[in-house]
């Protein structure tokens, strides 16, 4: 219980990363593959899933590893990953051309909202870690 | 200890209490801000559709499905096609009271290269049009040439770029303003380009949902009535004298949509009021109970020399800070959801849905923020009154 309490923010990051990785090809997947041609959004989906898996691995490592400095390093690495995920649909990879299509109406907003939350949580986690570290430094 | 920092320290220290109170305020904010934006978006959508129709009368083929098809196209963007003989246009032009008249031709594409869905292609007459070009987003004074198109706002292609339909490139020369309706997903062009499209589809062996040329048939006629003439009389006149077509007042066609919208708006307003009433009662009760539980803390503060006035201010400050945090979180969450998923919401509703602009949104943000903080302040005021009424000596004896 104490372990869960201590790593609460890391568990939130892990859950969000799992939602991102699994949801990107299930609940909020991009447009379905057509038999005629593969659309641009399909590649955006593949990249989001890959980056989502990377975020899951990072979050899992941050939960398992006990060394505080390594934990902080992993959380710092999650920030650019979350930014990259945010930018993949629509900025780095172009999506389909009609806004009413699944990739623009569901995939893009869902990926952006979740990656934005991961970004905010990771930044908050880093800030909290620094504050705690400074407090410990002062008390010593 | 700095007394001024006490409210903030209390908020941070009593995490569960703070989270509980903030959650109530977030729900309040979400219901008020989300409800307001939602209702405004529905009203904007209907206004936009009424404006975009731009005609007093719409004439369609008489078959029962054409009106439903047009409504589906306007409200849901479902591509549709129906035709009537083009000669009807001459008959309609000769009716007294008709000011402007323009025909449109509807074509449904097979899957465009851009998209896995069908695209509605609307062929219009450039010389007589008064319903499409006034809504061009970027100034375009020219006349549409061959293989040039105007696109609805939901097609993410830009002016100057090309759109590939049936393997043929078409130059985008204009983009229409967002309407929140099915018109946003259509491609607009002239009759000649429509013919090119049909030929291109046939060359590629793609079946297109029309074999009829815009030279022979039209899908709908838009009529603007001169001032001083009764629109209903002209509608009746057209329906009596032309057995193959059906004339409808544009406003009448939207009545059922307007009614649905009215019902949804009323239901949401009702639920927002109910949520507010319950949440306000819960919030005031929560602050009141918490104050009761903190009597000893207040008594201790009084003993160390905190005046009644200062104590009241401390309790009030806590409530205001919690109110600010709750309303800010609520506004961010609601805004992110409403604006990110606006297309999805509009599609699922099957109603015109157009989000308000920056000024209106800012207005709603301010109204929500002030309302929620004010409710927090009122709850705090009641708590503050209870806190300063604490009989220090009696509490300490207990």
* Low pLDDT (below 70) residues in chain B: 1-3, 64, 66, 75-78, 110-117, 137-141, 206-211, 398
B115 contacts on A by Cβ (under 8 Å)? 39, 96-98, 101
d(CA B220, CA B265): 31
d(CA B312, CA B316): 6
Residues B86 and B222 in one domain: yes
Residues B267 and B222 in one domain: no
Residues B91 and B128 in one domain: yes
Residues B283 and B179 in one domain: no
Residues B25 and B77 in one domain: no
User: Using 50, 70 and 90 to split pLDDT, how confident is the model at A139?
Assistant: low
Residue A88: CB atoms within 10 A of its CB come to 24
Residues B238 and B262 in one domain: no
- What is the pLDDT at residue A49? 96
Q: Give the total number of structural domains in chain B.
A: 2
A98 contacts on B by Cβ (under 8 Å)? 114-115, 117, 119, 154-156, 185
d(CA B358, CA B210): 42
Residues B86 and B221 in one domain: yes
Please report whether residue A68 resides in a domain. Answer: yes
Q: Domain span at residue B380? A: 3-47+258-397
DSSP B176: B
Whether the CB-CB separation of B80 and B121 falls below 8 Å is answered with no
Does residue A108 have a pLDDT over 90?
Answer: yes
Residues B26 and B141 in one domain: no
Whether the CB-CB separation of A85 and A51 falls below 8 Å is answered with yes
How confident is the prediction for chain A on average, in pLDDT? 89
H helix or E strand, kind and range, residue B255: helix B255-293
Whether the CB-CB separation of A115 and A13 falls below 8 Å is answered with no
Residue B241: CB atoms within 10 A of its CB come to 11
Q: Domain span at residue A127? A: 18-25+38-139
B156 contacts on A by Cβ (under 8 Å)? 95-99, 104
Nearby residues of B318 by Cβ (< 8 Å), 6 or more positions away: B7, B10, B11, B380
Q: Which of B72, B109, B111, B116 to mutate to test the interface with A (most CBs of A within 10 A)?
A: B116
Paired residues of B248 in beta bridges? B58
- What is the pLDDT at residue B210? 58
- Chain A, chain B: beta-carbon pairs less than 8 Å apart: 62
The complex's ipTM works out to 0.80
Backbone dihedral angles phi then psi of residue B210, each to the nearest 5 degrees? -165, 135
- What is the pLDDT at residue A78? 94
Give the tokens for residue A8: 């609460």
Give the tokens for residue B9: 């320290």
Closest partner CB to A101 (pick from B115, B163, B184): B115
Q: Give the total number of structural domains in chain A.
A: 1
Residues B31 and B70 in one domain: no
- What is the pLDDT at residue A75? 92
Tell me, yes or no, if A31 comes closer than 8 A to chain B by beta carbon: yes
- What is the pLDDT at residue B209? 53
Mapped onto helix, strand or coil, the DSSP state of residue B268 is helix
């Amino acid at each position: 219980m104490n372990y869960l309490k201590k790593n609460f923010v890391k568990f939130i990051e892990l859950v969000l990363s799992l939602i991102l990785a699994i949801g990107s090809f299930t609940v909020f997947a991009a447009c379905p593959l057509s038999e005629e041609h593969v659309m641009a959004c399909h590649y955006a989906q593949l990249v989001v899933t890959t980056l989502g898996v990377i975020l899951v691995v990072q979050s899992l490592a941050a939960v398992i590893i006990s060394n505080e400095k390594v934990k902080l390093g992993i959380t710092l690495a999650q920030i650019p990953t979350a930014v990259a995920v945010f930018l993949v649909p629509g900025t780095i990879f172009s999506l389909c051309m009609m806004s009413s299509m699944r990739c623009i109406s569901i995939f893009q907003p869902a990926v952006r909202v979740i990656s934005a939350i991961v970004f905010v949580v990771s930044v908050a986690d880093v800030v909290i870690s620094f504050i705690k570290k400074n407090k410990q430094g002062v008390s010593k | 200890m700095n007394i001024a920092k006490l409210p903030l320290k209390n908020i941070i220290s009593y995490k569960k209490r703070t989270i509980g109170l903030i959650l109530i305020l977030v729900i309040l904010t979400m219901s008020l801000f989300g409800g307001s934006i939602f209702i405004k978006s529905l009203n904007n959508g209907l206004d936009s559709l009424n404006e975009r129709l731009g005609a007093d009368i719409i004439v369609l083929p008489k078959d029962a499905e054409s009106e439903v098809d047009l409504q589906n196209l306007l409200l849901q963007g479902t591509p549709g096609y129906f035709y009537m003989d083009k000669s009807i246009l001459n008959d309609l032009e000769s009716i007294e009271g008709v000011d402007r008249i323009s025909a449109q031709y509807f074509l449904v594409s097979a899957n465009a290269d851009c998209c896995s869905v069908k695209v509605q292609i609307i062929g219009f007459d450039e010389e007589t049009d008064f319903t499409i070009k006034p809504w061009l987003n970027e100034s375009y004074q020219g006349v549409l040439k061959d293989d040039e198109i105007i696109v609805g706002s939901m097609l993410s292609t830009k002016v100057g770029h090309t759109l590939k339909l049936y393997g043929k490139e078409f130059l985008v020369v204009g983009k229409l303003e967002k309407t929140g309706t099915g018109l946003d997903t259509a491609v607009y062009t002239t009759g000649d380009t429509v013919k090119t499209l049909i030929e291109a589809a046939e060359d590629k062996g793609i079946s297109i949902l029309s074999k009829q040329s815009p030279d022979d048939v039209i899908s709908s006629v838009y009529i603007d009535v001169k001032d001083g003439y009764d629109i209903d009389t002209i509608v009746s006149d057209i329906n009596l004298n032309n057995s193959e077509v059906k004339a409808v007042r544009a406003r009448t066609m939207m009545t059922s949509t307007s009614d649905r919208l009215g019902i949804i708006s009323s239901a949401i307003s009702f639920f927002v009021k109910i949520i507010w009433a319950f949440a306000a009662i819960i919030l005031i009760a929560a602050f009141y109970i918490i104050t009761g539980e903190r009597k000893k803390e207040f008594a201790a503060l009084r003993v160390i020399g905190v005046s009644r006035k200062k104590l009241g201010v401390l309790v009030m400050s806590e409530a205001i800070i919690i109110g600010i945090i709750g309303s800010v979180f609520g506004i961010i969450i609601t805004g992110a959801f409403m604006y990110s998923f606006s297309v999805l919401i509009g599609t699922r509703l099957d109603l015109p849905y157009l989000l308000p602009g920056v000024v209106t949104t800012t207005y709603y943000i301010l109204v929500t923020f002030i309302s929620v903080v004010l409710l927090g302040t009122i709850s705090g005021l009641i708590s503050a009154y209870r806190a300063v009424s604490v009989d220090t000596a009696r509490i300490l004896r207990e």
